[in-house]
Every structure is written in structure tokens, then in C-alpha cells.
Amino acid sequence: MTQETVKVNKTKALKPVKKRKSASLDKKKARGGWLFVLPFVIGFVLLYIPMIYDSLLFSFNQIEIVPRQGYTLKPLGWGAYSAALFENTQFVPTLLKGLQGLAFDIPMILIFSLFMAVLLNQKMVGRAAFRAILFVPVILSTGILGGAQFTMTQTDAMGGAIDDGSGTSASEEIVSAIDLQKFFEGMVVGQELVEYVTVAINNIFSIVNRSGVQILIFLAGLQSISPAIYESVQIDGATAWETFWKITFPMITPMILVNAVYTIIDAFTMETNVVMSYINNTKSSIIDASGLAMSWMYFLLVIVIIAAVAGIFSTFVFYQKRN
């Protein structure tokens, strides 16, 4: 017996079995996580960050392309930026106009898409068909078809597209502010609100076309609200109006935040946007530093706006605690 134990001890002393610590499940999972996100991380670090860096670099430099060799950079410093801000008389007003448009569009698109999502979420005859039709713009009105050649004005959409060639076309607007004012005369409604509604109705075509993805996101949000909540509220005797404001609206607030941010990004990167088209039209070529400087300034401004909107909205967002 003793001999044996000695023997065992000896072998142990001679050959210490290095017990490889097997990775814990958490560690294994962490490794798996990195494996999954690897393609994006590689691309982001090796391709995207250099691209952003280059783009910023190009906005501070004049590029000269040397045939067969690449390009050289001639430093300009803040030249392009100060030129756009202080020498260019059009850039700042265009920027302000663009922001004004943004401030008008975003609430309109959000309200419209929420309304449509609530409608399309109800059970009715032909719901699938209406959904299919309303998602058509998501698929079709981007890229080439969102370009100037295919963009419809209100008149086109309302039946003036095939003109008789006589030169007279239908009036530009569906409703005039004067008619609407008469309608609202009795109510205590401000001039601004009347105008807002008029412009919104006249722009209904572009609003419908731009709220496809937002309707999708809202619909997904509405689907995720548990029917049990609605049932219990119904039993307690709530009306549809109360149900909307006390249940649906709070539960959908996270979606409103997502959609607000998405709409800002979408409106800002749209080709037909005032500022985007101004920048595209004024820069002399693709390698013009002033165009880059302008788009970077515009982008930074929009980042600030997104941060502000997200900050304000997130104070109102209601999260249902699931866990």
C-alpha cells in the first residue's frame, strides 16, 4: 500500500499533469459572440474608419490626382469651412431652410405613419391588400425612382400627369388656405395651424411615399403589445379613445423614438433634400473640398439634432419591464 502511494506521488512529481482549464460557458459564448460580429468589426476598423478619416482629411486638403501614382494633398487648413460659412452667401440660408423643412416633415410623417399603422392593425376586410399597397413605396420609391425624373408633383399625382398639351393645367393645390380658413373661422384656431394643415394636405403625396418604413416599424410595435392588456382595459370599461391614449400610445413610445431618429436620417440623406441638392449642385467636381466641408458641417448639425431629439424623446419613452 505505502509503496503504491509513493509510486503515485512520484509519478505526480515527475510529470505534473497540467490540467488545462476548460473555458467556462460564458467565456465560450463571449468568444462565439466575437466570431459572429467579426465581419462587421473587421470592415468597420479596416475600411470604415479609414474612410471617415480620409473624408475628413480630404475636406481640409485640395486633392490633385497624379496619373498612375495616386493622389497628392495640398493642405488648405480650415479654408473650405470658413469659405462655406462666411464667404458663401447661400449656404447658411439653405441650411436653415433645410432644417425648417425637417422640422415640418418629421412630426407630419410620424403622426401620419402612426395613424396608418393603427388603422392597418385593425381587423377588417381587405387588410392584406391595403397593407401590400401601402408598402409599395418602401420598395419602389428609392434610388432612380426617387430621383428628379420620376418625382411626382401634387398635380401629377392628382391626375394632371397626362396633360392635354394646351398649357393649362389643374391648379397646383388641392385646398387653398383661404377655403380652409373659412372652414376654421368659427373655431379658435391660429393662422399657423391652418397653414400647417394646408401645406400638409398639399404634400400628402410625398408624406405617404416617405412613411413606408415608419408604418412597418409602428405595425411591428403594435403587434408586440399584449392583447391581454387590451382585454383587461375593455373589461374595466375604457373607451377606444382612452385605450389609445392610456395603452397604445405609451406602449408605442419606444417606436416613436426609433422612427423619429430614422425619419431624421432619411430626410437628411434624401437626394431631393434642399441642402443635399445644393451641395451636389455647387461643388465643381467630386474632389472639391468645399462640397465635402459643407456636407460634414451639415452632418454634424444633424448629429446634434438627432442627439437633441433622442434626448428629449427618451424622457417620455415608457419601457415595459419584461424581466
Partner 1 sequence: MNAQNIENKPKVRKETKNKIKVDFERSPLKDRLKAKFLSFFFLKKVVWYIFRLVLLVGISYIVLFPYITWIAGSFMGPDDFVDVTVRLIPKDFSLDMYKEIWAQNNYMQAFTNTLIISGMSALIQTFICCFVAYGLAKFKFKGNAIVMLAVVFSLVVPHRTIELSIFMNFRYFDILGIFQFLNGGGINLFGFTINNSFLQAIDIIPDTMKNFSTGGVNLLDSYWPMIILSVTGLAFKNGLYIFMLRQFFKGVPDELEESAYIDGSGIMHTFFTIILPLSIPMMVTVFLFAFSWQWTDQFYTGLFFTNTKTILMDDIVKVPTTLKIDYAGTALYEDAIVKAGGLMIIMPLVVMYLFCQKFLVQGIERSGLTAD
**Which residues in 28-67 contact partner 1 (CB under 8 A)?**
28-37, 39-44, 46-48, 50-55, 57-58, 63
What backbone phi and psi angles, to 5 degrees, belong to 142? -125, 175
Site for partner 1 in 232-271 (CB under 8 A): 254-255, 257-258, 262, 265, 268-269
Residue 323 binding partner 1, by CB under 8 A: no
> Smallest gap, in angstroms, from Cβ of residue 8 to partner 1?
33
Residue type at 200 in one-letter notation: A
In the list 2, 15, 26, 75, the residue contacting partner 1 (rule: CB under 8 A) is 26
Instruction: Let me know the angle formed at the C-alpha of 295 by 294 and 301, rounded to the nearest 5 degrees.
Output: 95
> Smallest gap, in angstroms, from Cβ of residue 315 to partner 1?
14
> Smallest gap, in angstroms, from Cβ of residue 90 to partner 1?
19
SS3 content of the chain, % helix, strand, coil (to 5): 70, 5, 25
Q: 3-state secondary structure string, 119-149?
A: HHHCCCCCHHHHHHHHCHHHHHCCHHHHCCC
Q: Which is nearer to partner 1, 184 or 205 (CB)?
A: 205
How many CA atoms does the CB half-sphere of 297 hold within 13 Å?
A: 22
> Smallest gap, in angstroms, from Cβ of residue 258 to partner 1?
5
In the list 94, 198, 248, 295, the residue contacting partner 1 (rule: CB under 8 A) is 295
Q: Give the binding-site size for partner 1 (rule: CB under 8 A).
A: 101
> Smallest gap, in angstroms, from Cβ of residue 68 to partner 1?
7
> Smallest gap, in angstroms, from Cβ of residue 295 to partner 1?
4
Other beta carbons within 10 Å of 135? 16
Residue 130 binding partner 1, by CB under 8 A: yes
Residue 272 binding partner 1, by CB under 8 A: no
CA-CA-CA-CA torsion for 78, 81, 85, 88, nearest 10 degrees? Answer: 110
Site for partner 1 in 146-205 (CB under 8 A): 146-147, 149-150, 152, 156-159, 161-166, 204-205
Asked whether the CA dihedral 282, 285, 286, 292 is positive or negative, the reply is negative
Contact 91, 304 (CB under 8 A): no
Tell me the CA end-to-end span of the chain in Å, nearest whole number: 58
**Which segment (3-11, 84-92, 176-184, 294-302) binds partner 1 by CB under 8 A?**
294-302
Q: Which is nearer to partner 1, 27 or 97 (CB)?
A: 27
Spatial CB neighbours of 171, under 8 Å, sequence gap ≥ 6 = 155
Query: Which of 70, 114, 83 minimizes the C-alpha distance to 282?
Result: 83
Residue 228 binding partner 1, by CB under 8 A: no
In the list 78, 183, 244, 319, the residue contacting partner 1 (rule: CB under 8 A) is 319
Residue type at 192 in one-letter notation: E
Residue 308 binding partner 1, by CB under 8 A: no
Q: Which is nearer to partner 1, 120 or 194 (CB)?
A: 120
